Structure 1
Amino acid sequence: MKPGKIITSRYPILLCLCLLYFTGCNNFGDMNINPTQSSNMDPALQLALVQGRFSGDLESNERVGTFMCMPMVQQLGGAWACQYGGFYVKQQQYMSILWELNYPNDVLNMVDAVTRTKEDPARSNLHNICRIMKVYIFARLTDLYGDIPYSEASSGFFAGKIRPKYDKQADIYADFFKELTEASTALDPAKDAVSQDQFYNGDIARWKKFANSLHLRLAMRLVKIAPETAREEAQKAFQRGVFTTQEDVCIMRHENIQNNYQDIRGNGLSASINQGEVIAYRFSQTFIDALRNTNDPRLEHIAKYYIDNPYRFMERTDISPQVRAVVGYQGCNNGDFVWDDWKETFTVDVPGIGAYAVGNNAQKIQLANFLIANNAPFLHLTLAEVELLLAEACFRWGLDLNGDFAAHYNRGIEAAIRQLALYNGGPVIGDDRITQYKADNVLAPGRELAMINHQLWVALFMNGPEAYANWRRSGYPELTPGYKPGYSSTTKIPRRFEYPLTEKEQNNENYTKALEDMGGADDWTARVWWDK
């Protein structure tokens, strides 16, 4: 299946799963049979539900991506809600939300689906896809929090015992590599079809590549803490076969529906940004400057000035040429709300409208409509990311993995620019612009890691948790903290999420042990194991 092709059966499935989620998940246990397992749940539907929720759930995408991670890596800013990640205003509820939504829903479903299919040879592919998906959802959790409940995640929370132990992140990662290796090897196109799969419509060859590419991503997390392990695992992932074409990308297609806290068919990240009378979010000036200073051809397509159209954001009037002619590319400064750094009004002529007064807010550049449309795709893992990670691996360890670091770097740039065309209404940027951009950004001696990870930072735009993880593990780009007097809780960019207060109250013994292993304090300026 090509990435741009919508699975015709997807949306009826997701609609049914929305209803299932709010009518069935709270009655998951059957104490007469197995306290962690429903007697009639279909594992294929559990998989589809978890896939849909990953990018379709509004609450977690809003709190984690829009409020916290995208402002933290200085891609998004301006709005009142950006203070939590952008100015480091500590809000425990927002740091807790992924944990409190994932464990009783996504973790529960995936652990159960893996268990339910384990001894069923007729569902071998489904079993191994669920193992891969289980790693994927746990990776997001441990990368944000550090040590987490893993081996007892389902039995601890859902078998009448609400005090599961925390596994060390090093041990969790070791199991990730084992699970991805075994699952990708066991997948077999000659075995069972997995038609409810929302990512690849059951394409086993692509699932193998996704597992191996995810393995590569996680291997590169360890470059600071365990470089030899990182190198070995990265090479293993590559040898088994990672993404090689744009056809391989892991993409979730969403429906053109305004998402809400019950419906997961639309893009939850989009809904978190576009909901409301007018859109408050702006590009961070840090991000805008980085693209402008490298002559990035994506800038003019992803960053736009608009005349607002209340509650109908897709019908906003694009006045980018007129405003750019006066102010260029102006986002929100690091540490500012949209009303800070106030701009005086000026007038432009807009075809069909006439003279239009461009006030302060309209002079702070916004995300283009196609990026935040309700049916915008969510890019889970891309060819661009894989190529740029291979570029770093080749540079760090002197490897040739079907090309040296410069070859992978250039492939990564091209893939990242071309992936914008995967969006509905996204631009197709010409070969000449791509060629010129590569010529303008040749890897400079001594700056290889900085330049490779600059490209990753840009390629991971709209995937806040992953951009945040890559910034922490690589150290690039070098960001100046967005400290704001009277708001900020710390002068440092936070390095993790703090645990929910419910863990301190209900699982104190294991919570305390986890803190000892992580350095003694549950503080968002502390570092997870791989970030040491």
Structure 2
Amino acid sequence: MKHIINTLYIGGIALLLSVTSCKKFGDTNIDPTRSSNLDPSIQLTTVQLRFSGDLNINQRTTFMLTMPLVQQIAGAYSNRWGTAYYKDPGMLGILWDDSYGNEVVNIIDAVKRTNGVAEKSNLNAICRIMKVYIFARMTDLYGDLPYSEAGKGIKPKFDTQQEIYNDFFKELTAASAQLDASKDLVKGDVFYNGNVNSWKKFANSLRLRYAMRLVKIDLAKAKTEAQAAFNAGVFTANADVCKVDHEDVRNNYEEGGKGYIKGNAVSESFHKDGVPGRFTSVFLDQLRSTNDPRMKYMVKYYVDNPAIPPINRIDITDQVVEKQGYQGVTPGQYIWNDYKDSFPVVVPGVGTVTVTNNDQKAQPANFLLRFNAPYLHLTYSEVELLLAEATVRFGETFGGTAIDHYKKGIEAGIQQLSFFPSGPTATSTEINTFIQGNALLAGKEIELINKQLWITLFLNGPESFSNWRRSGFPLLTPGVGIDEPSQSTTIPRRFEYPFTEEEQNKANFVKVLPGLGGEDSWNARVWWDKQ
């Protein structure tokens, strides 16, 4: 991993393809001076690391918006956009502006450079899968967007999300079939180190994820694609998961030519402003009410101290839990709301510690937020839980009963905590006790499955937000701003387009508005999010 990242930096992070300002996507979304000899494997590395290592995108999109929107976290002032529904066009537009100016430009070019090149057949297939993955995060948050004409140096048309999804299924199918272990060895791949069999499973598992996205809009299509994905071969064990193991460095906001993408940007997001986001009372209630063993591993109390590295904070969990149990923050509120008086505790090896109001709001354990924490792109737990839902909806044609898949999904979700440095390994007794106490009840299968997905997708905000919208679970009550008025009475359903698109690509921009009810609103719904 370190060798790959260092190679990336030596190679200049494909800067020739990202020197154009992302703010000028409406005029041209590809650098007309692109290099004729740029190595597409470096471009692949670039887009893979940027996906979870770019602080500009991940702090806004994940920590400030999507994780608070699905009420996993709240409390920090920088959670206000997603928990109190305070709308900021700059926050909503950052993924669009930065991705089109960087990841999209690079991956489209990498696909072009390798298309039809016999000695780069596997690299081409992997880049095609990455292109789908990059665009999926964007279309799921925005809806219709430039896809077929992106990267052509023109004012591109917006493709409908239905058209985009149809192409996703076609591309994932073709790219998976194209992968061949007897052909070129792919370099620069930080997901699977060029293992084509792993990439096949990843492509098919993505296909399953996107198939289940359609359950509200096109159930027949969802069934067909889910079955085809399963038949082609999805993840079958935790060893298959797609993740990036980041380096133990703190990312900074990207500067031209710097490329601060080596550390985990989601982790940095939690610590960037000195007040890490807290768990919501809603999320903790789910763990508490089901006697989830992840509670004691994931949920901690610390003495906040911005002057020291987060990993060195004083752990006061045992002392605070003994006094008040696990308490989170109400969605829509900050840590200073519902103010709590300080009290002293004695910490072995430290002495007497004063526990302030801020310290009494539970937060994610340090191991989850290390700067070298892995970013989990797609897990075996998610795959099994999706198969459980597919079985409930479509029948037992997915290799087992819904209960079988549900149990496997829960077990894998608990076990994936061990992927993190210093992460815990739950005992088989803990896991089995939890599964036995949380049966898949008839008539409530979809709800119970997706509550487990809500937990297993923790720290993957965009995917948590998408899964909540397409499934409807867990049932969430909109937060109400306490210190400032909320700008929505309901939980927003999408990201609004950046102003730059309306200004510079208006002829195409206005064509998407009828499908949004005539207005580019964050309360409108994307195509698959049928009401």
TM-score by length of structure 1 reads 0.95
Q: Which runs of 5+ in 2 are unaligned?
A: 22-27, 255-259
Residues 253 and 376 in structure 1, CA contact (< 8 A), matched pair in contact too:
yes
Task: Tell me the SS of whatever aligns to 1:329.
Answer: coil
Residues in 2 aligned to 1:241 and 1:92: alpha-carbon distance in whole angstroms: 41
Deviation readout 1:431-451 (Å, 9 max, x if unpaired)? 000000001110111111000
Secondary structure at the counterpart of residue 154 of structure 1? coil
Instruction: Say whether 1:305 aligns with 2:297.
Output: no
2:18 to 19, 25, 37: 25
Instruction: Say if 2:350 is the partner of 1:353.
Output: yes
Shift of 1:81: 0.9
> Is 1:133 matched up with 2:143?
no
Matched, 1:247 2:231: no
In the TM superposition, what are the counterparts of 1:40-439 in structure 2 within 5 Å?
40-155=37-152, 159=153, 161=154, 163-262=155-254, 263-276=260-273, 278-309=274-305, 310-439=307-436
How many residues are treated as equivalent by the alignment?
517
| 1:3 corresponds to | none
Displacement of 1:399 in angstroms is 2.5
Secondary structure, counterpart of 1:384 in structure 2: helix
Structure 1 regions of 5+ residues with no counterpart? 1-6
Q: 1:184-218: per-residue Cα shift (whole Å, max 9, x none)?
A: 01100000001210100000000000000000000
Offset, 1:334: 1.7
Q: From the superposition, tell whether residues 39 and 235 of structure 1 become closer, same or farther in structure 2 (CA, over 3 Å).
A: same
Quote the residue 2:24 is aligned against: none
The answer as to whether partners of 2:373 and 2:420 remain within 8 angstroms in 1 is yes
Is the partner of 2:345 in helix, strand or coil?
strand
Secondary structure of 1:153 counterpart: coil
- Tell me by how many angstroms 1:345 deviates: 1.4
What is the letter of the counterpart of residue 512 of structure 1? V
Tell me, in whole angstroms, the C-alpha distance in 2 between the residues paired with 1:351 and 1:14: 45
Between 379-388 and 356-365, report the one with greater CA deviation: 356-365
Give CA-to-partner distance per residue, 1:307-361, whole Å, 9 cap, x none.
2342321111111000000110011112210000011112211112222221110
**Residue type of the partner of 1:25?**
S
Instruction: Give the SS at the match of 2:408.
Output: helix
In the TM superposition, what is the alpha-carbon distance from 1:9 to its structure 2 partner?
2.2
SS in 1 for 2:354: strand
Superposed displacement of residue 136, structure 1: 0.1
Measured after TM superposition, the shift of residue 23 of structure 1 is: 6.7
Q: CA deviation at 1:430?
A: 0.3
1:132-158 Cα offsets, whole Å, 9 max, x none, are 000000000000000000000111xxx
**What code does the residue aligned with 1:197 have?**
D
Distance 2:83 2:33 in 1: 39
The answer to whether the Cα contact below 8 Å between 1:145 and 1:497 also exists between their aligned partners in 2 is: yes
CA distance in 1, matches of 2:221, 2:79: 36
Tell me which residue corresponds to 1:10. 4
Q: Map 1:483-494 onto structure 2 (within 5 A).
A: 483-484=480-481, 486-494=484-492
* Correspondence for 2:514: 516
Aligned AA for 2:278?
Answer: R
Is the 2:380–2:412 contact (alpha carbons within 8 Å) kept by the matching residues of 1? yes
TM-score (norm. length: structure 2): 0.95
Q: C-alpha distance in 2, partners of 1:361/1:8?
A: 37
Identity of aligned residues (%): 51
Report the Cα distance in structure 2 between the residues aligned to 1:62 and 1:337, rounded to whole angstroms.
Answer: 18
Q: Does 1:462 pair with 2:471?
A: no
Amino acid at match of 2:503: E
Aligned partners of 1:16, 1:169: CA distance in 2, in Å? 38
1:440 maps to 437
Structure 1 residue 475 and structure 2 residue 472: aligned?
yes
Tell me what 2:450 maps to.
Answer: 453
Q: Secondary structure at the match of 2:377?
A: strand
Structure 2: distance between partners of 1:448 and 1:396: 10
Q: Would the aligned equivalents of 1:14 and 1:52 in 2 still touch at CA under 8 Å? A: no
* Counterpart Cα distance in 2 of 1:331 and 1:48: 38
- Distance verdict in 2 for CA 1:467–1:300, change over 3 Å: same
Measured against aligned partners, the alpha-carbon deviations of 1:404-444 in whole angstroms (never above 9, x if no partner) come to 11100000000000000000111000000000000111011
Which residue type is aligned with residue 362 of structure 2? Answer: I
Shift in alpha-carbon separation, 1:173–1:360, aligned structure 2, 3 A: same
Alpha-carbon separation, structure 2, partners of 1:401 and 1:10? 37
SS at match of 1:147: coil
* Contact 1:69 1:465 (C-alpha < 8 Å) held by counterparts: yes
**2:19 partner letter:** N
In the TM superposition, residue 36 of structure 1 has moved relative to its aligned partner by 7.3
Q: CA deviation at 1:248?
A: 0.5
CA contact 2:227–2:397 (8 Å) conserved in 1: no
Note the aligned Cα RMSD (angstroms): 1.7
Aligned counterparts of 1:315 and 1:37: Cα–Cα separation in 2: 45
What secondary structure is seen at the aligned counterpart in 1 of 2:18? Answer: helix
Other-structure match for 2:257: none
